[in-house]
A = this chain, B = another copy of it.
Amino acid sequence: MAELPPVPPRKGPPEEVQIATLLTRVGGAQAAAFATLLAPLGLRPKQFGVMNVVALAGGPSQGEIGAAMGIDPSGLIATIDDLEERGWLERRRDPADRRRNVVALTEAGTAKLAEGRAAARRRAEELIAPLSAKERRALRDLLAKIA
């Protein structure tokens, strides 16, 4: 008897590459769509990210914001400058360690962040609209597993 081929003939790339490609593409499309929704609010994704981290961490230093976002703190200066000029957040010198700047949202910043989060939810709903409740749970769990 002739041996069967160990793998059936394939037209495209192997399954793992398909998954990686889909992940990169869908992730990129999601980031771009979110940026588009954010733009009319006067926010870019990085700015929204900073405000979100500030809200979640509750008065972090600039170094802590950088650590949370996975970027060097030097790359945050211009962004924080801009958000501060627009009155959405404030730097306050930490009295206990005068090298540190504690960053906090203003009232206007808190309202703006809420707008951004609403945009994020609208876009997220749009993104997963094709999935059933069961499929959503499955996707979330699978993504969490490889995150």
Contacts and interface: CB of A to CB of B under 8 A. Distances in A.
Interface stretch (A74-82, A93-101, A125-133): A125-133
Interface residues of A, number: 41
Contacts of A30: 20, 23-24, 27
Chain B CB within 10 Å, residue with most, of A13, A22, A34:
A22
B142 A135 contact: yes
A140 B19 contact: yes
A34 B20 contact: yes
A130 B145 contact: yes
Contacts of A29: 147
Contacts of A20: 30, 34, 120, 123-124, 127-128
A137 B28 contact: no
A7 interface: no
Chain B CB within 10 Å, residue with most, of A15, A121, A127, A143:
A143
Nearest to A28: B27
Chain B CB within 10 Å, residue with most, of A13, A18, A27, A136:
A27
Contacts of A39: none
Interface string A100-117: 000000000000000001
A91 B53 CA distance: 47
A57 interface: no
